[in-house]
Amino acid sequence: MKVLRLVLLGSVLWILLYSCASGDNQARVLTDTPKKGAITISVDESFRPIVDALIQVYESNNDSTKIHAQYKPEAECMADLFNDSIRMVIATIKLSEKQLQSVVDSLHVVVKQLPVARDAVAVIVNPSSSDTLLTMGEIRSVLTGNYIKPLIPVFDGLSATSTVRFLLDSVLKGQKITSKAMGASTSDSVIQFVANNPNAIGFIGVSWIGNQDDAQQLSFLKKVKIVQLESSDKPGKYVLPVQANIYTKRYPMTRDLVYIVKEGHRGLGTGFAEFMAGEIGQLIFKRAYLMPGRRNFIIRPAQTKE
Q: Where are the domains of the chain?
A: 37-118+255-292, 119-254
pLDDT tens for the chain, 306 residues long, are: 444 344 344 443 333 433 443 433 334 344 799 999 999 999 999 899 999 999 999 999 999 999 999 999 999 999 999 998 999 999 999 999 999 999 999 888 889 999 999 999 999 999 999 999 999 999 999 999 999 999 999 998 777 789 999 999 999 998 999 999 999 888 889 999 999 999 999 999 988 886 666 676 677 778 999 999 999 999 999 999 988 899 999 999 999 999 999 998 899 999 999 999 999 999 999 888 889 988 665 555 555 454
* 184-196 core/surface letters (b: 16 or more CB in 10 A; e: else): bebbbbbbbbbbe
Backbone angles phi, psi at 221, to 5 degrees: -70, -15
User: Residue 66 forms beta bridges with which residues?
Assistant: 38
DSSP SS3 for 112: strand
Q: Domain 119-254 - what CATH class?
A: alpha beta
Give the C-alpha separation, 7 to 278, whole Å. 56
CA separation for the pair 158, 187 (Å, rounded): 12
* Structural contact between residues 47 and 207, judged by C-beta atoms closer than 8 angstroms: yes
Query: Same fold for the domain at 37-118+255-292 and the one at 119-254?
Result: yes
Contacts of 166 (CB under 8 A, 6+ apart): 92, 121, 253, 255
Task: Please say whether the structural domain 37-118+255-292 has been given the CATH code 3.30.2090.10.
Answer: no
- Contact between 114 and 283 under an 8 Å Cβ cutoff? The reply is no
Smallest CA-to-CA distance from 260 within 72, 41, 73, 51 is with 41
